Each structure stands twice: as structure tokens, then as C-alpha cells.
């Protein structure tokens, strides 16, 4: 953090600590501090059992007397099964929780006496990354055609059960951000198989050998999609792509593996050894829209870097740099909007969806209803009272 940058302020995520908490000689020494936290916050760690509970009590010596907690403290418990979260809430074992944002959970909370729902669009997205170093995916027209041939609205309904809980992915800026260009400025890639087929045709991909798969210069349009099993949505999306892409002469192979293997194959592998055509994942974003070092930064195409697409566009790189030297937020917003529109057109990595988050809160708890995309519940605790 040597150069002045408007994004630097986001790096101040820790409070002020005693120097022994960050000056350490070994990993073990640093680690031991994790079990002996220090701080000057509203809550004090009282006790914990691994994977059982963490007990925090109100800090009576909190410096800001007006914002001391009115409740005794907060007790975090561990419930592994999503299906049991809401049962525990209904039973009164817990006062609030964050279940998965799925329609069935929303319906259950709304039907539950004594509890209510808080939901908001989250700051993050799910994406599908194309390996643009492959002859099959180096043309922007092919990537666009694949998007046109994917019925994402149907995918969202199938996966999340409701279009209220999720929003169609457009560009790599969060929809909740001040830098989002607005839906009208972006291409939705509405489902259109005919258009997709025509685009592939125009890009030179035709079925010359009659095997049902398009090819060009002897290379068949056959793609490997890495799908991890820890979440359900990559399986759902790739399954739908298998059907619809098959109709326009694109052969898809879906490769199931665990998350760690997907990350190792796509990000950790050195350029040239990244053995995939498509992979999917979801990211949470920080408040600042700066994409440097991330999925879309050509300089992050390396072993261990986050850009596995191998795509480089000078205009995009310039805009990213410009965003980090401009301190006027309105002007910064314009830069990022231009960048987002550009990425929405080039789609080295396509944004699949913006997802919501939901909270279920007991009616006996007051003061937590303002949980939102930029308001963590911990920031609201001083207002909380109980019936």
C-alpha cells in the first residue's frame, strides 16, 4: 500500500491491534493469537467449544457508551443441516439465522408464526469462465453464441425456485454497486438458439464431417466443463447447457470433481497447463468495485492468479488502471461502467447470476431488520432489544 489509491481505504479491515498481534516470528506464533483475540469492540469473547458454540458477552467498558449493547450478548451455535436451521428457529433454540436463499426456505419462513424474513440482493456473483487460449473459445462470437444458447432465466427458476431471489447476471460489477452501469446499457444474451447457431456459422464453425458436431480447421467444437459438487447450481447449469448446446452442434463434456481440484486446475496451474474449457464458481465482492488482480485482470493470468481465462484486452487493462488513479467517485463510476459494458461484450468470463441472501429473524428480536447488502448484523447489535 505505497501508492495512493481510492481503493486503499477498503484495506483497513482490522481495528487497531497491539503490535505483538501482527509482529510474529512463525506461523505457529501467529496462529496462537487466533485463539486469544483482542479488540475494543462491543462484544467480548467469553468462551467457545470447537464446532459447538462461541459465546460473546456485552463489553461493559465499551468506549462509546451510547452504543453499548442492550442485550446480554450473542451466542453463536453450529447447525450443519440447512433443513434444521428453520426448525431450530421455530423451536426457539435460536433467534436468527441465515438459511440458503431458496424459494422453499422463503415460503417456510413466511408461513412460520413468530418469525419474519429479511432479504436483499448480495454483493457478489456467480460466473462461468471460458478458457480463451483454446482455439474453440478464442473468438468472442463463439463465447457470445454459447451464452445465447443457454436459457439462464429457466436455470434461475429451476435452481432457486423463484426469480425474486436471484437476478440475471450481466456484467462483472455488482448490481448493488455505485459503479453498476444499469441493465439497459448491457446485453442480457436472451435465449435464442437460432441466433446462436447463426453466429457460430458466421464465425466459421460448421459441421464439415457430418458427425453432428461443428468444427473448424479440423478442431471439433467440443468443450470440457469442470463442475464441483459442493454446490448444486454448477451441475444444474451445465446440465442445461449440455442439452441446449447439443442442439446447435456443440459437444459438452461435464467433469465432476471437488472444489479444491477445480481451483487447482484453473487458477493454481501455470498458463498453458490450465486444463479446462469452462469452469463455474461464485465470488463475494468487496465494497470497492476495483477488479485489479481478479478474474478479469490480464496480469492475474499466472500460476496461482485468479484469471484463468487467459484473456487480454488492452482497453480493459487501461480502464482498470484509470479506475485506481481517479479519486472522484462519479468519474470513477463512469470508468467502471465503461469497463463493465466492455466485459459484457467480450465475455471472457460471463456473469451467470447475482444472488440474494436471506435471513430468518424471530419476532421477539427487534432492531435487526435493517440487515442489508452493506450492513452486517454486527453493525446493528447495539439497537437490538428482545421481547
Residue number with CB closer to another protein (75 or 254):
75
CA distance 108 to 222: 42
Q: How far apart are CA 298 and CA 173, in angstroms?
A: 17
Summarize as ranges the residues that interact with another protein (CB under 8 A): 11, 27-28, 31-32, 34-35, 47, 49-53, 55, 75, 77-81, 83-84, 87-88, 90-91, 93, 230, 257-261, 263-265, 267-268, 283, 286, 292-294, 300, 302-306
> Who's near 354: CB < 8 A, 6+ residues apart?
121, 122, 124, 125, 166, 167, 168, 169, 174, 175
**Which is nearer to another protein, 151 or 290 (by Cβ)?**
290
34 is written with which cell numbers?
487466533
Nearest to 342 by CA among 377, 369, 317, 367: 317
Closest distance of CB 172 from another protein, Å: 13
Please state the closest distance from residue 163 (CB atom) to another protein, in A.
Answer: 27
Which CB, 32 or 378, lies closer to another protein? 32
Q: How far is the CB of 269 from another protein (least distance, A)?
A: 10
256 forms beta bridges with: 227
Nearer of residues 51 and 66 to another protein, judged by Cβ: 51
C-alpha cell at 370: 435493517
228-265: buried (b, 16+ CB within 10 Å) or exposed (e) per residue?
beebebbbbbbebbeebbeebbbbbebbeeeeeebbeb
CA distance 319 to 8: 18
Phi then psi for 257, rounded to 5 degrees?
A: -160, 180
Kindly state the cell numbers that stand for 118: 429479511
- Minimum CB–partner distance for residue 188 and another protein (Å): 27
Shortest approach of another protein to residue 312 CB, angstroms?
17
- Residue 265 CB, shortest distance to another protein, in Å, is 7
Please report how close the Cβ of residue 227 comes to another protein at its closest, in angstroms.
15
C-alpha separations of 207 from 201, 251, 328 in Å: 9, 12, 52
Nearest to 264 by CA among 233, 292, 224, 303: 303
Q: How far is the CB of 142 from another protein (least distance, A)?
A: 28
Residue with cell 443457454: 150
Q: Which is nearer to another protein, 13 or 217 (CB)?
A: 13
Cβ 361 vs Cβ 112: under 8 Å: no
Of 10 and 325, the one with the shorter C-beta distance to another protein is: 10
Of 54 and 240, which CB lies nearer to another protein in the complex structure? 54
Q: How far is the CB of 100 from another protein (least distance, A)?
A: 15
Angle at 288 between CA 284 and CA 290, to 5 degrees: 90
- Of the pair 136, 307, the CB lying nearest another protein is at 307
In the bound state with another protein, the residue whose beta carbon lies nearer, of 67 and 78, is 78
Q: Give the count of beta carbons closer than 10 Å to the beta carbon of residue 218.
A: 8
Asked if residues 71 and 96 have their Cβ atoms less than 8 Å apart, the reply is no
Amino acid at each position: 500500500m505505497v501508492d495512493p489509491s481510492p481503493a486503499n481505504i477498503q484495506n483497513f479491515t482490522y481495528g487497531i491491534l497491539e503490535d505483538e498481534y501482527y509482529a510474529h516470528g512463525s506461523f505457529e506464533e501467529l496462529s496462537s493469537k487466533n485463539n486469544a483475540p483482542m479488540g475494543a469492540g462491543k462484544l467480548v469473547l467469553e468462551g467457545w467449544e470447537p464446532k459447538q458454540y462461541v459465546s460473546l458477552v456485552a463489553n461493559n467498558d465499551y468506549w462509546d457508551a451510547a452504543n453499548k449493547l442492550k442485550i446480554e450478548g450473542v451466542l453463536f451455535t453450529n447447525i450443519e443441516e440447512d433443513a434444521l436451521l428453520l426448525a431450530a428457529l421455530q423451536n426457539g433454540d435460536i433467534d436468527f439465522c441465515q438459511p440458503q436463499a431458496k424459494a422453499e426456505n422463503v415460503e417456510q419462513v413466511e408461513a412460520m408464526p413468530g418469525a419474519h424474513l429479511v432479504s436483499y440482493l448480495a454483493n457478489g456473483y456467480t460466473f462461468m469462465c471460458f478458457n480463451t487460449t483454446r482455439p474453440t473459445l478464442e473468438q468472442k462470437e463463439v463465447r457470445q453464441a454459447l451464452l445465447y444458447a443457454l436459457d439462464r432465466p429457466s436455470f434461475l427458476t429451476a435452481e432457486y425456485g423463484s426469480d425474486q431471489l436471484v437476478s440475471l447476471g450481466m456484467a462483472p460489477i455488482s448490481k448493488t454497486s455505485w459503479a453498476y452501469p444499469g441493465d439497459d446499457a448491457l446485453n442480457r444474451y436472451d435465449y435464442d438458439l437460432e441466433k446462436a447457431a447463426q453466429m457460430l456459422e458466421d464465425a466459421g464453425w460448421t459441421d464439415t464431417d457430418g458427425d453432428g458436431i461443428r468444427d473448424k480447421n479440423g478442431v471439433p467444437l467440443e468443450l470440457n466443463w469442470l463442475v464441483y459438487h459442493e454446490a448444486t447450481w454448477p451441475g444444474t447449469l451445465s446440465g442445461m447447457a449440455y442439452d441446449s448446446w447439443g442442439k446447435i452442434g456443440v459437444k459438452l463434456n461435464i467433469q465432476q470433481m471437488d472444489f479444491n481440484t477445480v481451483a487447482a486446475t484453473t487458477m493454481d496451474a501455470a498458463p498453458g497447463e490450465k486444463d479446462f474449457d469452462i469452469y463455474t464458481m461464485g465470488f463475494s465482492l468487496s465494497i470497492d468495485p476495483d477488479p485489479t488482480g481478479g478474474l478479469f485482470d490480464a496480469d492475474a493470468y499466472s500460476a496461482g492468479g485468479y484469471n484463468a481465462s487467459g484473456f487480454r484486452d488492452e482497453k480493459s487493462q487501461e480502464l482498470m488502471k484509470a479506475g485506481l488513479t481517479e479519486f472522484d467517485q462519479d468519474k470513477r463510476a463512469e470508468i467502471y461502467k465503461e469497463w463493465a459494458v466492455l466485459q459484457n461484450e467480450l465475455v471472457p468470463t460471463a456473469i451467470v447470476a447475482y444472488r440474494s441472501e436471506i435471513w430468518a429473524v424471530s419476532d421477539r428480536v427487534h432492531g435487526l431488520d435493517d440487515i442489508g447488502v452493506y450492513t452486517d448484523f454486527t453493525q446493528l447489535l447495539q439497537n437490538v432489544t428482545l421481547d
